[in-house]
Structure 1
């Protein structure tokens, strides 16, 4: 499974690399819904691509991003005030008597103060860090598809809500951010051969068991290169509900070096020469799509403990 990925989060890089258009309407709708309370999580680098935008349509997106940041900042400031008051109360109690409740309250308040300060720092800084392009299941990322014969970049959630599912169904299907290759004709049959996409990844992370403990490993392709990850996507619609664009990365058996590191799956990077055929699938010729997945890029994946 692809637990987490370091992605190309800036839509402008898709435009440059693939000649794709960015769907202003979809991005504007997405960011407006986030202001309205959708709860969508995005990597900071995805938002930063709109900083200082000049065309009016892009300025509207930037306005939504700024409004959301302001609301988040206010929430963090309020929580910071609340936790500092809690910390002060706990410390006053501990001056009189050491109790388990006061000690625990002090610990929790201290942890939440640290978290709020980190959150405020992330909101306020303009310099991007490596972690600002990392996504997790449930986060949004730019995904390239073909619409009306044109490559287009859309914001999609990295956990696919399949056709026929409801939001309630999804609660019991939390692994749907990855689509196993051997399930493409069964669980994913309504999307495989119909709705294909590409997410660009620099490296990825996996959970691995080591000596009875879970550790997170980072896998880097060698030689270093952007990986064009094969994805399936869906636009979920329901009466009275906003549309949900979501996707899953296709995975397969791992190469030997990933298996030796302790993980049993790997995302599939397709070759650049197959991009057009992958994004324009023929549902009557699934063999051609399987051939693309089999004729994949095969870099060697170096691994290290994640920072």
Structure 2
């Protein structure tokens, strides 16, 4: 399963490559939610792409990003002040009598202050960092869809909440950031042939068991250990990853979410001990993929079968 990837986080790449336009409403909604106190996990590179808006639509998104940042910084200050007050109270108690309880209160509060300070520093940072464009399940990614005859870029959570699901269903089945190709006409039948998109990535990451990677059995008494591998197409070309997506709503919450389609592993991926590989469709199939006919799933099957097979070089992730 593709549990992490480095994505095209700058929407302008989609504009240059595909002529796609921005879904301003969907972008402003997720930043409005953050401003109001929710915590959608949005890669910093997605935000940084709006640092220099070119028109009023992009300026609107930029304003929401700034307002969301300022609101979160204010909440961080409140949480830090609360922890500082706990430290003062515990230090006062220690002056009267040394107890492990008061020492533990101080230790926990200091750790929480450090964590909140790190969050604040990340919000204020303007320089790009290596993993700013990397996503994990639960993070937001950019997905290109077809809407009213135009290619449109939307922010979607990389973990799909399926039609009819509740939050409890999602928690019980957290693996829906990937959709197995052999399950598309069963588990994913309400989305396959209906809600198609494209996510673009430059690298993907997999977690594998070290003993599988080394092609050996576990030694006596050895516990399984996981290692992380980074895979990159030898051609240097980006991966056009087909996704299924859904706009879930219950009258209170609205969520755009997606899943990347995976298939049997490419030989070089299987050799590392992993049993799946995300599908990488050919550029000439992008338009057809984004305009599915639910009465002709055979055409969609053909696109997935006729996928690209670049050799995926790998290395141990840092």
TM-score between both structures, scaled by the size of structure 1: 0.90
Name the structure 2 match of 1:215: 227
Q: How many residues align?
A: 306
- C-alpha separation in 1, matches of 2:140 and 2:165: 19
- SS for the counterpart of 1:208 is strand
Structure 2 length as normaliser, TM-score? 0.87
- Which of 215, 237, 240 in structure 1 is aligned with 2:249? 237
In the other structure, the counterpart of 1:150 is: 150
1:175 corresponds to: 175
Separation (CA, whole Å) in 1 of partners of 2:275 and 2:92: 52
Question: CA separation of 1:81/1:191 partners in 2, compared to 1, >3 Å: closer, same or farther?
Answer: same
SS at match of 2:128: coil
Alpha-carbon distance in structure 2 between the residues aligned to 1:106 and 1:223: 53
Matching residue of 2:219: none
Superposed, which structure 2 residues align to 1:186-265 within 5 Å?
A: 186-211=186-211, 212-238=224-250, 240-265=251-276
- Aligned residue for 1:64? 64
1:261 & 1:195 partners in 2: Cα distance?
33
Structure-2 separation of matches of 1:132 and 1:292 = 31
Structure 1, unmatched stretches of 5+, are none
Give the match for residue 10 of structure 1. Answer: 10
User: In angstroms, what is the RMSD of aligned CA positions?
Assistant: 2.3
Distance 1:84 1:205, change over 3 A: farther
Match of 1:269 in 2: 280
Deviation at 1:31, TM superposition (A): 2.0
* Structure 1 residue 273 displacement after superposition: 0.8
Answer whether contact 2:7 2:201 (CA < 8 A) is retained: yes
Structure 2: gaps (5+ residues): 212-223
Which segment is superposed worse, 227-236 or 18-27? 18-27
Alignment CA distance shift 1:87-1:299 (3 Å): farther
1:298 maps onto 2:309 in alignment: yes
Deviation of residue 265 (structure 1)? 1.3
